[in-house]
Amino acid sequence: MMFKKLFSFASAIAVLATGAHCQQLSYEDSITALAYGNVATNSSSVGEVWLNITGFAADKLPHIQNDVGIYTLDNRETLTTIAGLAQVAAQQGQWGDIVFLYSAFAMNGHSEYFNASSLEMQQALLYAVTDQTRGEVDSTLIKLYASTSSSEYLTEAFENLKSDTSSQSKRWVKEACSSAHKATKSACRTLLENVKGNVTWKSGGPRSICKSGCCISWSANATFQVQNLTNAANYCLNACGTSSVSCEVWGVKLQGTLVDQCLSNRATGCT
C-alpha cells in the first residue's frame, strides 16, 4: 500500500508495525497510525525540541495555550515529527488532532502512550477538556475535538469521554501536591488501572487501597464503590510532579460521604 507524501519530515514518523518495509505516510495516515498505537518510534536520538502552541485559537484550545519544550535523551526525531504534524493540524483546523499530538509530545512521544485508548492518553485527553478551576468537563469541547480528529480511533476516544463526564467531574473543596511521601507515577497508574471501573463495594476499614508502591487512602469510613476513588486520584496524577506524586484532595464525595482522599506511597496519614 502506498501513501501520499505531504511533508518532508513524514519519513521520520515510524513505519506501520505490520509493514514489511519503511513507507512514508500522509498526514491523515500518520495520525491514524499514532492513535492506533501501531508504530515503532526512534528511541536513540538526543536533543531539544519544542512544540509551539502559543497563538493557536484560544477559543478552540482553551486549556492548551502553553508551548512545551523537552530536552529528550532518547526521542528527538519522533518529537520533531509530532511538532511538525501539530503545525499541519493547526493549518487545517484539526483541533482534536492538536490535542492528541500535544498530549503525545508532552509525554516525550513515548510509544506506549500513543494509543488513543491507553490510560495515559485517556487521562491527557480528559485533562484537555476539563476546566481545572471549576473541575467541569466541557461537552462542547469534546464534540469539537471528536469532529476535528483525522482518525476514527481518536474520534472514538473523545466520544468515550462523554459517558464519563458525570463521574469524572471534579467535585471537592481543594487539593494540594506535597513533596513528602511521593509514589512513582508508574506505580500509581498500575493502581488506577485496577480501581477504574471496579464496582466492588467498600465499607469501613481499612481506609486504603494499595498496589505496588502506590496507595489511595481516605480520611473517614464510607460505603462506596471502589471506582469512585478514580476522579480525585486522576487529578493528582495529572496535576502533581513529573515522575512521582504525593497529593491530598479535601471534600471528595464518596457516594454521599465527604472525605479527604490521598495518593502517595503510604496507606496512612490522610486526615
Helix axes 139-147, 152-160, angle to 10 degrees: 170
Tell me the C-alpha distance between 271 and 262, whole Å.
Answer: 9
Is residue 123 very low, low, confident or very high in pLDDT (cuts 50, 70, 90)? confident
pLDDT > 70? residue 13: no
Q: What percent of the chain has pLDDT over 90?
A: 45
The cell numbers describing 196, all together, are 477504574
- Maximum C-alpha span of the chain: 60
pLDDT in tens, 178-190: 999 999 999 999 9
Helix (H) or strand (E) holding 89: helix 76-92
**Using the 8-state DSSP alphabet, how is residue 15 labeled?**
P
Q: What is the pLDDT of residue 107?
A: 85
State the cell numbers at 151. 482518525
Burial of 80-119, coded b for 16+ CB within 10 Å and e otherwise, reads: bbbbbbbbbbbeeebbbbbbbbbbbbbbbbebebbbbebb
**Helix pair angle (230-239, 119-128), 10° resolution:** 80
232-245 tens-digit pLDDT = 998 898 888 888 99
Least confident of 24-33, 69-78, 85-94, 126-135: 126-135
Instruction: Classify residue 125 as exposed, middle or buried by CB count within 10 Å of its CB (0-12, 13-18, 19+).
Output: buried
